[in-house]
Amino acid sequence: MASGPPKPGRNRHLEKFNGKILISIVIAACTHPNTPVYLIVAKENQALIDYVQKMHPEVHIRSPSSLKMLDSFRTGLFQDENDTLIVAGDLWSLKRQEVGQFLNSKYSCALYALQHPWGKDLVSVDKKLIRRGDVGDSLVLIANSAKKGYLSAENIAQARTYFARFYPHAKFNPNKGNHLWTWIDYVFFHQITSSRTKEMEVPELNQGCIYFTSKLYLDND
């Protein structure tokens, strides 16, 4: 997912880390046998499209019909009938073995759990809910059978409701990752994301967490 157009004066997916272009780092980590790689990128980002076509011709490039985040997710999820691992496009620290753990997971739908949390647990204004600081979703595995439910109107409506319970004075923006994506995942994996008293898996839904010791939330924002 590298969907947005470049920012003024900056194309962050073409920036270098340790001498390598960021999008190439991510593509290398996502390249596994019998696993097609799709790059979801706005048609307005022609420089990124040109680079990937030249350097990574094996990658399937798809552009959403609009710049709306929901269109980007639909474009990424509904390319075929395989289960899909969504990967944030700017994780410069992503490693191939980490992607492999998702691809070989026993779960049909999965987030990851971190030894080094991205932050403290967030607490809703009414003190009745948390959002766990040791569970992340810059990689998220969605089974083919769950895709329609994952992006359903009901899930999105519930994402807005939960967002408002944590940020009652903020306006939900469906085109921001920290609004739409974060809270859709919070809803979809609610038994995991919202409580410290439960295990990091839901066997009846075949959902769970892949455990990592590295800092997967290191990105290029």
| Architecture field, domain 12-212 | Alpha-Beta Complex (3.90)
Structure tokens at 87: 């990967």
Read off the pLDDT of each residue in 7-15 and give the average, rounded to a whole number: 90
pLDDT for 5 equals: 84
Q: Does the reported pTM lie above 0.75?
A: yes
Model pLDDT for residues 121-173, shown as the tens digit of each residue: 999 999 999 999 999 999 999 999 999 999 999 999 999 999 999 999 999 99
pLDDT band at residue 4 under the 50/70/90 scheme: confident
Model pLDDT for residues 173-221, shown as the tens digit of each residue: 998 888 999 999 999 999 999 988 777 889 899 999 999 998 888 887 7
pLDDT for 89 equals: 81
Read off the pLDDT of each residue in 101-112 and give the average, rounded to a whole number: 95
Model pLDDT for residues 13-67, shown as the tens digit of each residue: 999 999 999 999 999 999 999 999 999 999 999 999 999 999 999 999 999 999 9
